[in-house]
Structure 1
């Protein structure tokens, strides 16, 4: 009788260990970074670049709206240079204060410093477009950013005007 109880206990432990031990060697998916939205992310120094994407008019506008969130994890402010397209393109500059989460591109109709419009934009939705982020002497970050249109309701308000507004 004791042998049968002992065998049952050993068998139950073996089944329990066999059913749960795979987590000992399997990688945990929650520890892997991934981009949960349509954009792409990266880091340049102490500034995180999150969910970068370009919204363009599918009907053939000549302006792209860079939609991105910049997160400054440093204790001092940084002036981030953003160059879209070829390295010779005119860069945009955005200052991100210490600990600040700065969203760009949420209001493409205004030129209040929270929008980076790309004039002469000819990439079609579905393409990838090069964007370079850099500040100070930190190593820059090259991202190939996806180009989307305003077909989805959450992106419809992010479509830029068909021509770039005059710079002030």
Structure 2
């Protein structure tokens, strides 16, 4: 009788260890940082860039969509370089605030002559002040997905010359 009780206890212990033992040795999935969206992210000093993505139809004119959080007390101008440094844009984020760019009814960051491929990654170098900058690999989308259809930039038109 005692042997049967001991065997049952060992069996139950083995089952418990077998079904829960992996959690003793494996990394907890809730502790793994990841970007839960289509875009990418970076932190540079007091600036946090979140859900950065590029929307284009022609690969040349790009609407950069992102949210920038400024944890500093004063406003910051952030410089964005693209197309191997041939193109540059700036955005401003007030102190202790968050600002979204690229959505309807928000400020836009339109990049021209971007030379990107839809479905690819756009190298974007981000820097401000004396902080060490970072290169982001920003995913490039077109308007074929419903959630991005209203974010496609309009290519600048040239003024016809009077001939």
Q: TM range, normalised to the smaller chain?
A: 0.7 to 0.9
TM-score normalized by the length of structure 1: 0.82
Partner of residue 69, structure 1: 67
Q: Measure the CA separation in 2 of the matches of 1:11 and 1:122.
A: 64
What secondary structure does 2:48 align onto? strand
What secondary structure does 2:125 align onto? strand
98, 101, 125: which one aligns with 2:95: 98
Partner of residue 79, structure 2: 81
TM-score normalized by the length of structure 2: 0.85
Aligned partners of 2:38 and 2:51 also within 8 Å = yes
Report Cα offsets for 1:61-108 as digits up to 9, x if no partner.
74111111112234443221122222242x32222233322111113x
Q: Measure the CA separation in 2 of the matches of 1:162 and 1:88.
A: 18
Which has the bigger relative contact order, CA under 8 A and spacing at least 6? 1
Partner of residue 110, structure 2: 117
118, 122, 133: which one aligns with 1:129: 122
Q: Measure the CA separation in 2 of the matches of 1:62 and 1:81.
A: 19
CA 1:145/1:164 → structure 2, altered by over 3 Å: closer, same or farther?
farther
* Two-structure CA RMSD over aligned residues (Å): 2.3
Number of residues of Structure 1 aligned to a counterpart in Structure 2: 159
Q: Which runs of 5+ in 2 are unaligned?
A: 159-163
Cα shift at 1:122: 3.2
Q: Measure the CA separation in 2 of the matches of 1:25 and 1:75.
A: 43
Partner of residue 47, structure 1: 47
What secondary structure does 2:137 align onto? strand
